[in-house]
Structures are given as C-alpha cells and as structure tokens.
Amino acid sequence: MAAGRVKGYLLAGVMAAVLAGCASEPKQAEDCGRFSAYLEPPASENLYRALVTHIDGKPVISQPNYKLAPGRYTLTLVELIHAPGMDVPLNARKTKTLSLDLKTGERLHLAAKYLPEGQGEGFWEPVVWQTDKARCVLPKVLVNQ
C-alpha cells in the first residue's frame, strides 16, 4: 500500500511540474529607454524635426516616443527641414540611418541637422540633439515559461 502512495505522489509531482512548465505567467515589468522625436529642436542651431520610419529595418507608425529595452538600435529617419533659402531637389530628400545604444532610463531626442554647404543627399544628417533622464517601464506581458 505504501508503494502505491509513493507512486501516486511521484505521478502528482511530475504532472505538477509539466503543467507549471506550460503555464503562462505575467512577466515582471522591464526597464527601458526612449527615442523621442516630438520636441521642436532649435532651428538657430540648424536642427529640425525628423520622423522615425523604421527601427532595425522594421517599419513603425510615427509616434512621439518609442519605448524600447536597452540595447543597440538602427533607426531610419526622414527629415522635416524647412530652412530659409534651402534649395534641395526632391530626389535628394532620402531617408538616413542612425545607430545608437539606448540605456535604461535614458531619453534620446532625435533631429535632422541641416548642413547648408551639403550637396545632394548630403544636405542633412540624423543626430541626437538632447539627452535626458526619464522613468521608463515596459508593460507586463504574458510569456511562456
């Protein structure tokens, strides 16, 4: 009789372990950082707004902030330069990429730097024009454990 009880306990323990491995549990909220493209940078420094179109080659919907886990990212941006006297043909207005390391609690403000002496596609470059600290937490999500 005791052997039957032990066998039952073992079976119950194995079943519990198998079920626990398949269950979904809430993952803890994760710290993050932000790329921001909503502030108007100072035109007096030849800085203008830019929009993020892709993150790591994947298209994104335009947002003021992109909350992401810390790490290295390649952003594709398009410029919104409206500098006085700027005479750049439409075919020279192309997207550009910028690779950045994002740290926890960091907000990187993006801009397009107008280069008045630049020719063709060289009339601008994507830049981080301001960095500040901002609390950032990614929401909890369900994950398979």
- Please report which confidence band the pLDDT of residue 6 belongs to, taking 50, 70 and 90 as the band edges: very low
Q: Is residue 13 part of a domain?
A: no
- Please report which confidence band the pLDDT of residue 111 belongs to, taking 50, 70 and 90 as the band edges: very high
Q: Is residue 65 part of a domain?
A: yes
Looking at residue 10, its pLDDT comes to 44
- Please report which confidence band the pLDDT of residue 5 belongs to, taking 50, 70 and 90 as the band edges: low
DSSP structural state of residue 120: G
Looking at residue 100, its pLDDT comes to 97
Half-sphere exposure of residue 67: CA atoms within 13 angstroms, side-chain side: 11
Q: Is residue 76 part of a domain?
A: yes
Which has the closest alpha carbon to 112: 87, 93, 131?
93
Q: Is residue 12 part of a domain?
A: no
Q: Is residue 11 part of a domain?
A: no
pLDDT tens-digit series, residues 14-73: 444 444 444 444 445 578 999 999 999 999 999 999 999 999 999 999 999 999 999 999
CA distance 16 to 58: 40
Q: Is residue 112 part of a domain?
A: yes
- Please report which confidence band the pLDDT of residue 112 belongs to, taking 50, 70 and 90 as the band edges: very high
pLDDT tens-digit series, residues 94-108: 999 999 999 999 999
4 or 111: which carries more pLDDT confidence? 111
Number of other CB atoms surrounding residue 16 within 10 Å = 10
The 8 Å CB, 24+ separation contacts for 63-67 are: 63/37, 64/36, 64/37, 64/38, 65/34, 65/35, 65/36, 65/38, 65/107, 66/34, 66/35, 66/36, 67/32, 67/33, 67/34, 67/136, 67/138
Strand partners, 55: 58, 75
CA distance 27 to 72: 22
Range of the domain at 134: 27-144
Looking at residue 141, its pLDDT comes to 62
Query: Count of domains in the chain?
Result: 1
CA distance 4 to 34: 58
